[in-house]
A and B are shown apart, each in its own frame.
Chain A
Amino acid sequence: MTRTTEGRHRERHDPHWIEWRTGCISALLVTAMIGWIAYEAVTRQETPPELVVTAGRSEAVAGGYRVPFEISNRAPTTAANVMIIGRLAENGRTIEESQVLLDYVAAESRSAGALLFAENPAGRTLDIRPVGYTDP
């Protein structure tokens, strides 16, 4: 408990046991958190971003086709300005190209987006891949 007199606060000398219980649990939580981060900071290798794109099923939308995709970054470093290009090819010849720029793909995280095409991707080869990024 805290007693306030004339704008001054004074902590009571005889705290309830719940204050100590909460304090101890908090101390445990904070120690565990700091310990975990310190452990990761010591052991983790700062490898460059590892970007993997998985394309979803294309679906017809107004004025074309939409191909959703998910991009995951398995490395512990974040990639910024990730450019993703999707190439639609038929018989080895590129017939359409779409691109999208993702602001960030965070470390050990996923992001999602979609590419839009005028031609139907069904039955053609579609290659979606990241072509570059910058360090944040």
Chain B
Amino acid sequence: MRKAADGDCRRAKGQPDRLGHFINGLGRGGAGALLFGIPMLMTMEMWSLGFYIARERLLVLLIALLPLLVLLARRIGFERVSSWREAGRDAIVAYGIGISASAIVLLTLGLITGHMSAHEIVGKIAIQSAPASIGAMLGRSQLANRTGDGSGETEIETSYGGELLLMATGALFLSLNIAPTDEIMVLVYKMTLWHILAVALLSMALMHGFVYAVSFTGGHELSAGTPAWHAFVRFTLPGYVVALAVSFAALWIFERLDDRSALETLSCMIVLGFPAAIGAAAARLIL
């Protein structure tokens, strides 16, 4: 989808066009941040998390987000990027859009007021900026009009590690939406271990089905002669492990695992792993 020649061509047209293009990208980023961030911005648990979340866990979230954003930028940046440096720039811009969009919406909804401590305000905005910045990045790819660049050789290769990181991003996005709510805990309390087991198997089946069996645009095909179980072992199983790891991280960040036995922790991971697995599979389709 990306061509080096495309960038050169645009550069030749001069500054005003580049600026317009960039502002266009910013607008799409803002729209994406709102579109993908609104569910979390309007979740009650997220408002209170802003002041009680442990700062070191928030820091982990904010730092872990950066490499994921850079990778996303590399795939679907605001402009067609050809170097990691440009991807880094796009990632920071998306982060900035995420922070601004969160701040504006929280202010408008009356969730940030003058008598709150700076600690609380910063916490609230910071935690919302994570999904909003992923949304800002996705806005570029999902809201862009794709006309005018369909010609020519459009082939990219994603390394295996990149593919797993993409899955992690998709998993993180959906986990972030669901981990802070109480529903995960309530579900775990109500479910028996047999239910948990069924959810684990269903997650893996859906992950594999989404990417290989169902013929979505962006679905993956196997080269002729490759048995189906190859893809299951090489992509779906590692993808599910990535989804579970991300779900563990999200639960840890939102302090859902403190003082819990190992089996309870695993149950929580698997229940949150269900949306995470769907997010991971969707990331492979969409991006």
Contacts and interface: CB of A to CB of B under 8 A. Distances in A.
A3 interface: yes
B35 interface: no
Interface stretch (A25-33, A61-69, A93-101): A25-33
Q: Which of A2, A25, A33, A111 has the most CB of B within 10 A?
A: A2
Contacts of B159: 1
Interface string A96-113: 000000001011111110
Contacts of B156: 3-4
B96 interface: no
Interface string A44-59: 1010000000000000
A59 B193 CA distance: 41
Contact of B261 (A7, A37, A109): A109
Nearest to A19: B234
A30 B233 contact: no
B193 A10 contact: no
B223 interface: yes
Contacts of A18: 160
Nearest to B238: A26
B233 A20 contact: yes
Contact of A37 (B157, B200, B219): B200
B186 interface: yes
Interface residues of A, number: 47
Interface in B196-253: 196-197, 200-201, 204, 217-223, 225-226, 230-231, 233-235, 237-238, 240-241, 244
Contact of A78 (B154, B189, B196, B233): B189
B241 A29 contact: yes
A76 B261 CA distance: 10
A44 B193 CA distance: 9
Interface of B: 1, 154-160, 163-164, 185-186, 188-190, 192-194, 196-197, 200-201, 204, 217-223, 225-226, 230-231, 233-235, 237-238, 240-241, 244, 259-261, 263-264, 266-267, 270, 284
Interface of A: 1-13, 15-16, 18-20, 22-27, 29-30, 33-34, 36-38, 40-41, 44, 46, 76, 78, 80, 104, 106-112, 136
Those 8 A-B pairs whose CB atoms lie nearest each other, nearest first: A108-B261, A41-B193, A136-B189, A23-B233, A13-B223, A26-B237, A78-B189, A110-B259
